[in-house]
Structure 1
């Protein structure tokens, strides 16, 4: 049996060199870990109908897999009784909760994110039995996915929670706490209908929204954060930015930037969307750091006058009346107000929400002929292109300006929105 294990281990080691040369070592380790888990299950008797004559083969597979994963020779590896193999995890290995604590200490996520991760870990442990991370296999991840779907979770919700686990496993692999990510390839299928859960605004729904009292009669409801009720929808329509990106803006984030056009120096007003941990500014990902030129429609409505009046008043935040929730999100309460306000203005389609402005911008940007790379740079969308590593804050300003200049919203001038008044 040991001779057989040695042959298996030798073959796997040669195969590992091939995977390593292709940069696919994690995938190879994941496959060996899965083989180890499968044959340990055979030895434990989890499959009573398994041919008895194959037990020696499974013992050889277990020895070989451990040798390849640990780097130790097959001869020096003791063969433990099956029950002992299943019940003696490495005491040095971390639980998922301990792993999450280490991850959080480095990444420093928001309190809301920590709570989300804790809930997912609690449910995963309940499903699998408080395993240490080295004991977790792809089979456990698949079982957790299936249990969420069986309990009525949508595929999108299940994938969000799987991604939370994936972030922890990737952290563990990167810090030599695991040899491979057991969640690789596990994903709940998302139907086309689910993908269409958000719709862009059409001309009729935009007209209904901007015909409301905030934009047509000068109302500034306190629940809408005063001037935020007026500016946030307009800014989202002409920048494609996310709600929280706009709500957390500071006065200093609206500035002029110079560039060359046909050899002549020009100045453009831009909105800088950036992360700043010390100032509590958080973005979705690295590609979200960017500058967005201020559209002419916003200039005509008095956006710069509003920025200046806020600066003169001594307020550092562009929308100082927004009240953060207990997790520090400055737009959580505002988003609930906007949803209710939108329905009162006759936009009853539940698939149209504030995030629909982002879809609307992408749609009209394509219609306006804006190149995809510029569209992505303006919206902070990670396209998967190598150019994403270039850094959106360093993206040349000239194509951004030209993109925004060409961007138009059909019939916007006919909406008769009242300009800002101090």
Structure 2
């Protein structure tokens, strides 16, 4: 790693690039160590500069080793020194030292040619090319994007999400550029562009990671080394769960009361509200579940549950997409939902020909180009309007709250308050397993009986009380 070539001055104020010349090449150099001040006290900047220097020095070593031993014209003996500097655009500048004046020009030409020859082999920019210039690729940038989408086995929803980010990269690097010609410095410059244009640091990180994954996917297939986003992803100042606020118990009472007025004439609005609250799932997971193939009843234990998965419909069409692999799970349905008619509602929708719980009232938004079904699109639009009205009436403080996602945070808080084990709560919500716990987590998230007894039944007592008070008008 280039960090291994870093050292500091004795006062630890400035970083230096320091690299030992390989033993088999030392007879070409007057010294055994190459050392260069990086003129910075920032370790982050020093790592980037050292990475560039290490790459250039590697190319010199490679060129010397590749020269034909039986060709005297190819042999060189270095009895002079050189320095590699970087200009304000991070482009290398060669300076020859300890050479006779009449030799400086020819020495510079030889070393520059060696560096450029190696650069061309690795799809990099020659020293005398201006910043932003790239080697003309055989394909345009859009061709590389389409190849990535067709060969990388990404899910349709992921491709749809990546399109805007890779389009941004195409505009930044240029249509005639290639991911193979993008260097580490290019990734640094792109990250600066993203941070200057996008305010949200989570979104910044997504743009950088998506583009880097795209670039590295192509580089790996050409036998090139991968680039890194280390030190480039913005550091969060607050935990991710702080992006959304939970609802208080009073908030939940108001939301349930508001939804209850729809229970007779528009029951889909009632059930979508309380079902998400009691299941702890993502709204898209509930809206896309196939009630003919994903709803089960264990009669022996009298437990109803949903099997959240991405299995195709009976006609073979793919109309479901989960956020991550850990989202595949079996989630039990709370007894109070069953008591008040949730299963009856689902059966009535199935009898009317529906496969999804709410599709007769809220159709999916279908992206024809990608074949993506977004079952919760119009549901969340309605929910957003409902929460806004409640806030305008001063019944709830909206803040960072969203109708459905804040219910997931409320669900997690109730589980924690009730002393439910973290692995149970995480399995119910379909979140990531801890490091080294994947196998155990995989068993837990499909054990609906355990999740019911140790999670749903144990943790949602306060929510059950709120629902009963709303229905009984207490």
- TM-score band w.r.t. shorter chain: 0.7 to 0.9
What residue in structure 2 maps to residue 218 of structure 1? 263
Instruction: Please state how far the C-alpha of 1:164 moved relative to its aligned partner.
Output: 2.1
Cα offsets for 1:152-199 (capped at 9, x unmatched): 532122122223224424533664564314434521232328762310
Q: Which stretch has the larger CA shift, 41-50 or 401-410?
A: 41-50
For 1:199 and 1:275, locate their aligned partners in 2 and report how far apart those are by CA, in whole Å: 29
Instruction: Please state how far the C-alpha of 1:95 moved relative to its aligned partner.
Output: 5.3
TM-score where L is the length of structure 1: 0.74
Pick closer, same or farther for the CA change 1:143–1:299 going to 2, 3 Å: same
Instruction: Please state how far the C-alpha of 1:126 moved relative to its aligned partner.
Output: 3.1
What residue in structure 2 maps to residue 401 of structure 1? 452
Cα offsets for 1:396-417 (capped at 9, x unmatched): 3332122222121526424434
SS at match of 2:301: strand
Instruction: Please state how far the C-alpha of 1:293 moved relative to its aligned partner.
Output: 0.8
SS at match of 2:438: helix
Task: Determine whether 1:365 maps to 2:418.
Answer: no
Pick closer, same or farther for the CA change 1:169–1:386 going to 2, 3 Å: farther
Task: Determine whether 1:134 maps to 2:145.
Answer: no
What residue in structure 2 maps to residue 23 of structure 1? none
Cα offsets for 1:179-220 (capped at 9, x unmatched): 3144345212323287623101111111111111x3145355
SS at match of 1:241: coil
Contact 1:269-1:294 at 8 Å conserved across structures: yes
Contact 1:256-1:269 at 8 Å conserved across structures: yes
SS at match of 1:211: helix
SS at match of 1:255: strand
What residue in structure 1 maps to residue 406 of structure 2? 356
> Greater relative contact order: 1 or 2 (C-alpha under 8 angstroms, separation 6 or more)?
1
For 2:154 and 2:240, locate their aligned partners in 1 and report how far apart those are by CA, in whole Å: 31
What residue in structure 1 maps to residue 280 of structure 2? 240
Instruction: Please state how far the C-alpha of 1:244 moved relative to its aligned partner.
Output: 0.6
1:284 pairs, out of 305, 319, 323, with 323
Q: After the TM superposition, which residues 57-136 of structure 1 pair with which residues of structure 2 at under 5 Å, given as runs? A: 82-83=127-128, 89=135, 91=137, 96-106=141-151, 107-110=153-156, 113-114=158-159, 116-130=161-175, 131-136=177-182
1:36 pairs, out of 55, 58, 65, with 55
Task: Determine whether 1:378 maps to 2:428.
Answer: yes
- What root-mean-square deviation, in Å, do the aligned CA atoms of Structure 1 and Structure 2 show? 4.2
Contact 2:290-2:356 at 8 Å conserved across structures: yes
For 1:62 and 1:228, locate their aligned partners in 2 and report how far apart those are by CA, in whole Å: 71
For 2:116 and 2:25, locate their aligned partners in 1 and report how far apart those are by CA, in whole Å: 11
Task: Determine whether 1:149 maps to 2:201.
Answer: no
Instruction: Please state how far the C-alpha of 1:243 moved relative to its aligned partner.
Output: 0.9
Task: Determine whether 1:253 maps to 2:294.
Answer: yes
Pick closer, same or farther for the CA change 1:268–1:66 going to 2, 3 Å: farther
SS at match of 2:304: strand
Instruction: Please state how far the C-alpha of 1:377 moved relative to its aligned partner.
Output: 1.4
For 2:58 and 2:345, locate their aligned partners in 1 and report how far apart those are by CA, in whole Å: 68
Contact 1:36-1:66 at 8 Å conserved across structures: no
Task: Mark the structure with the bigger radius of gyration.
Answer: 2
Q: After the TM superposition, which residues 177-326 of structure 1 pair with which residues of structure 2 at under 5 Å, given as runs? A: 178-192=224-238, 196-212=242-258, 214-216=259-261, 218=263, 220=265, 226-251=266-291, 252-257=293-298, 266-277=301-312, 278-321=317-360, 322-326=362-366
Pick closer, same or farther for the CA change 1:99–1:332 going to 2, 3 Å: same
Contact 1:292-1:400 at 8 Å conserved across structures: yes
For 2:56 and 2:160, locate their aligned partners in 1 and report how far apart those are by CA, in whole Å: 31
Contact 2:332-2:456 at 8 Å conserved across structures: yes
Query: Could you say which structure has the higher helix fraction?
Result: 1
Pick closer, same or farther for the CA change 1:219–1:50 going to 2, 3 Å: same
For 2:147 and 2:200, locate their aligned partners in 1 and report how far apart those are by CA, in whole Å: 30
What residue in structure 2 maps to residue 171 of structure 1? 217
Contact 2:262-2:270 at 8 Å conserved across structures: no
Pick closer, same or farther for the CA change 1:302–1:137 going to 2, 3 Å: same
Pick closer, same or farther for the CA change 1:381–1:166 going to 2, 3 Å: farther
For 1:43 and 1:114, locate their aligned partners in 2 and report how far apart those are by CA, in whole Å: 41
SS at match of 2:243: coil
Instruction: Please state how far the C-alpha of 1:240 moved relative to its aligned partner.
Output: 1.3
What residue in structure 2 maps to residue 329 of structure 1? 374
For 2:110 and 2:276, locate their aligned partners in 1 and report how far apart those are by CA, in whole Å: 61
Instruction: Please state how far the C-alpha of 1:356 moved relative to its aligned partner.
Output: 0.7
Instruction: Please state how far the C-alpha of 1:275 moved relative to its aligned partner.
Output: 0.9
Instruction: Please state how far the C-alpha of 1:288 moved relative to its aligned partner.
Output: 0.7
Contact 1:364-1:407 at 8 Å conserved across structures: yes
TM-score where L is the length of structure 2: 0.66
Query: Could you say which structure has the higher strand fraction?
Result: 2
SS at match of 1:271: strand
